[in-house]
Amino acid sequence: MQSVPRFSDMPYERPTPEDINNKAQKLISAWDGAVTVAEQTAIIQQWDDNTAEYETNHMLAQVHFQQRTTDPDAKEEQVFFDNLNPVVLENNLSFLKRVTTTPNRKALEEQLGSQAFALWDCFLGTFAPEISELSRQESKLRTEYSELLAGLEIPFQGETYNLSSMRGFYGNKDRSVRLGAQQAKAHAMESIAPELDRIYDDLVKVRHEMATTLGYDTFTPLGYRRMDRTDYDDSNVEQFRKQVREVVVPLAQRIYARRAESLGIPDFKFHDESVRDHSGVPCPDGDHDWMLERATEMFDTLGDDFGSFFRMMADTELLDLKSRPGKSGGGFCADIPRYGVPFIFANFNGTQDDVNVFTHECGHAFQNWSSRDQPLLAYHWPTTEAAEIHSMSLEFLTYPHMEQFFGDDAERFRTGHLEAAILFLPYGCAVDEFQHRVYENPSMTPDERAAVWSELESVYLPQRQYVDMPVYDSGRLWQAQRHIYGMPFYYIDYCLAQTCALQMWHAASIDRESAMTRYRALCKLGGSMPFTQLLSAVGLANPFDDGCLETVCDAARETLGL
C-alpha cells in the first residue's frame, strides 16, 4: 500500500471503459490458461488490485461531488462513474463465474478464506441478463421516491421546510410546537400518500418478478442474498423479532411511562415519544474546532492505536465535518483502498447529534483502518449488520469520555443515548416484519399493506397514539422510511448490530479493558467472516439465540433504574 498523502493531493484519474475492459480481458484470458492454485491466487490478487484502483477513483469522484454539489465538473465525474457501472458489473460477472466454479475452489478458499467465495456466490445469484429491464425499472422507482420526498414542502409556523429541516422541531420542549410539527409533516405526507402507495406497489411487483425470474419463490430469499446474508435466514430473524416483542417492548413501555411521568403528561402521545424531560437535549460545549480538540484527547486516552489513527485522519484531511454551502447533507464513512484509509464526511450542527455521528463514523473508520491488511478488498468492510457493530459499539465505548463534550450534562447524554438504543429496536423490527409480510404476499393492495402496518404498530409500538394525523392512523407512517423503498430488508441490520453493541456496552461496564481488546479484535477481523462467525470469534452472543436480549435488557433496566 502506498504512503498516505493529504486528501487534496490524492491523484484522481478518470478510467476509460476501454482500459477497464482491456485489463479485465487480460486477466480473464490469464485465468482461462491458469492451471495451478498459485497462478489462480495471483490472478485474483491482481483483479483485486485493479478493483482497488478503480474504487479509489470512484470514491474520490463521489466524495468530491458530495463536497461540492454545485460544481458542474464534480457532478460530471459522478455521472461518468454511474454510466461506467454496467461495464464493471459485466466484467465482474464473467470473472467471478469462472472463479467460483473452478475445480480448485476448495484450495483457493484455504488460501483466501471462504467468505469471499460466499459473497461472490451471493453476487452471482442476484444478477442475470433476463432481469436487467426489471433492474432498470426498480432503480427508476427508487429515484421517483427519493425525488418525491426530497421535493416535499412542509409549511410550518409561517415558513417552508423540508423533511430534514423539520427534524429539529420534533423534540421541542414546547408540547404544542412538537405536536404542530408532527401534524405539519403528516399533512404533507398525506398529500403524496397515493403516489407513495403506487410507487411501492410497483416496486413490490417488480421485485417479485425479478425473484421468480431468477428461480426464487418470493423476493425474500433474493432480498437476503442482495444483503449478502450467507449464514442466517428469515426464520432466524423472526426468532430475533420474537425476543424483541417479549423482552424489549415491555422495557420500552417502561421508558415511555417514565418519560410521561417526568414530563407530567397523563395522556402521553406520539409527539411526546422523543422527549425525555423538561431540560431539553444536551448540547456539546463548543464548536467544530473545539470538538476536534476534545476528540483528539479522547482518542489518545482510548489508546496509542486510536490516538495515532485519529491524528493520521486529521493530518491528511480525511475528516470533513463542517457544514457549508453547496456541501451535501448527511454523514458517511468511505474508504480509499489505494492508501488503505477511510474518509469521514459529516455536517456538524451544534447538537448532541454531532457527537453521535462523529463517534459512530469514527467506529466505521477505525474498523476499516484496522482491516487494511486483510488479503482481499472484500474483507475491508464486513456485511452491513456486522459493520454497524463497530460504529454503534464505539458510541457506547466512548461513554466515559462524554464529560469532555457535555460537562455536567454527560450523564443525561448517556441515559438518553442508552434509552434511544432500546427504543429503536421495536420500531426497527416493525419495519422488518412489515417487509417480510409484504414480500410474502405480493398481491396485497396498498390498503391491505397499510392494515398490516397498523397491526404491527399495535404489537411493537403499543403506546402509540396519534393526534389528528389521519395518514398515520390509516397505517402509512412507514412511507417516510426510505429503506423500505430503497434498500429492502436492510433495516433489521441496525437492530442486530445494536443488540451486539449493547453487549459491548454491558461487557465494558464489567471489564473495560477486556471489552476494548475484543472491540479491537473485531475491527481487525473486518469482513473476513460472516456475521455470526465474527460474533463467536470475539465472544459476543448471537442475537438469533434465545436469551441474548434478556441479558442486555436486564443490564439496561438496572442502569436506567427501571
CB of 384 to Zn ion, least distance (A): 8
Query: Which window, 187-195, 250-258, 390-398, 509-517, contacts Zn ion (CB under 5 A)?
Result: 390-398
CB of 61 to Zn ion, least distance (A): 22
Sheet holding 319-320, edge to edge: 319-320, 341-345, 332-336
CB of 382 to Zn ion, least distance (A): 12
What are the beta bridge partners of residue 335?
A: 342
Nearest to 553 by CA among 241, 262, 256, 246: 246
Q: Assign 101 to helix, strand or coil.
A: helix
Could you identify the residue written with the cell 485519529? Answer: 310
Per CB under 5 A, does 383 bind Zn ion?
no
8: cell is: 487534496
- Which residues have CB under 8 Å from 317's CB, separation 6+? 6, 7, 8
What are the beta bridge partners of residue 334?
A: 343
Q: Please, which residue, 368 or 391, has the CB nearer to Zn ion?
A: 391
Query: Which window, 10-18, 206-214, 389-397, 470-478, contacts Zn ion (CB under 5 A)?
Result: 389-397
CB of 500 to Zn ion, least distance (A): 13
367: cell is: 474498523
Per CB under 5 A, does 384 bind Zn ion?
no
What are the beta bridge partners of residue 149?
A: none
CB of 116 to Zn ion, least distance (A): 23
- Which residues have CB under 8 Å from 118's CB, separation 6+? 230, 530
Interstrand relation of 319-320 and 332-336 (parallel, antiparallel or unpaired): unpaired
Query: Which window, 160-168, 227-235, 387-395, 459-467, contacts Zn ion (CB under 5 A)?
Result: 387-395
Q: Please, which residue, 387 or 450, has the CB nearer to Zn ion?
A: 387
CB of 455 to Zn ion, least distance (A): 30
CB of 195 to Zn ion, least distance (A): 30
Q: Please, which residue, 360 or 449, has the CB nearer to Zn ion?
A: 360
Is 481 in contact with 431 (CB distance < 8 Å)? Answer: yes
CB of 387 to Zn ion, least distance (A): 7
CB of 49 to Zn ion, least distance (A): 27
Query: Which window, 270-278, 279-287, 386-394, 459-467, contacts Zn ion (CB under 5 A)?
Result: 386-394
Q: Please, which residue, 206 or 504, has the CB nearer to Zn ion?
A: 504
User: Cα(319)–Cα(354) distance, rounded to whole angstroms?
Assistant: 13
Question: Binding to Zn ion (CB under 5 A): which residues in 424-443?
Answer: none
Is 131 in contact with 125 (CB distance < 8 Å)? Answer: no
155: cell is: 409549511
User: Cα(517)–Cα(384) distance, rounded to whole angstroms?
Assistant: 22
Q: Please, which residue, 391 or 398, has the CB nearer to Zn ion?
A: 391
Question: Binding to Zn ion (CB under 5 A): which residues in 41-80?
Answer: none
Q: Please, which residue, 50 or 367, has the CB nearer to Zn ion?
A: 367
Q: Please, which residue, 10 or 392, has the CB nearer to Zn ion?
A: 392
CB of 410 to Zn ion, least distance (A): 23
Per CB under 5 A, does 391 bind Zn ion?
yes
Question: Binding to Zn ion (CB under 5 A): which residues in 162-221?
Answer: none
CB of 497 to Zn ion, least distance (A): 8
Is 310 in contact with 295 (CB distance < 8 Å)? Answer: yes
Q: Assign 319 to helix, strand or coil.
A: strand
Query: Which window, 3-11, 164-172, 384-392, 537-545, contacts Zn ion (CB under 5 A)?
Result: 384-392
Q: Please, which residue, 346 or 555, has the CB nearer to Zn ion?
A: 346
Q: Please, which residue, 91 or 498, has the CB nearer to Zn ion?
A: 498
With CB under 5 A as the rule, give the number of residues binding Zn ion: 1
Total count of residues recorded for the chain = 562
- Which residues have CB under 8 Å from 165's CB, separation 6+? none
Q: Please, which residue, 228 or 457, has the CB nearer to Zn ion?
A: 228
Nearest to 391 by CA among 261, 501, 251: 501
Query: Which window, 31-39, 193-201, 365-373, 391-399, contacts Zn ion (CB under 5 A)?
Result: 391-399
Nearest to 230 by CA among 221, 242, 238, 240: 221
* Number of helical H runs and strand E runs in the chain: 24, 5
**Other beta carbons within 10 Å of 14:** 12
User: Cα(180)–Cα(170) distance, rounded to whole angstroms?
Assistant: 9
Residue nearest to Zn ion (CB): 391
Q: Please, which residue, 335 or 457, has the CB nearer to Zn ion?
A: 335
Q: Report the interface residues with Zn ion, using CB under 5 A.
A: 391
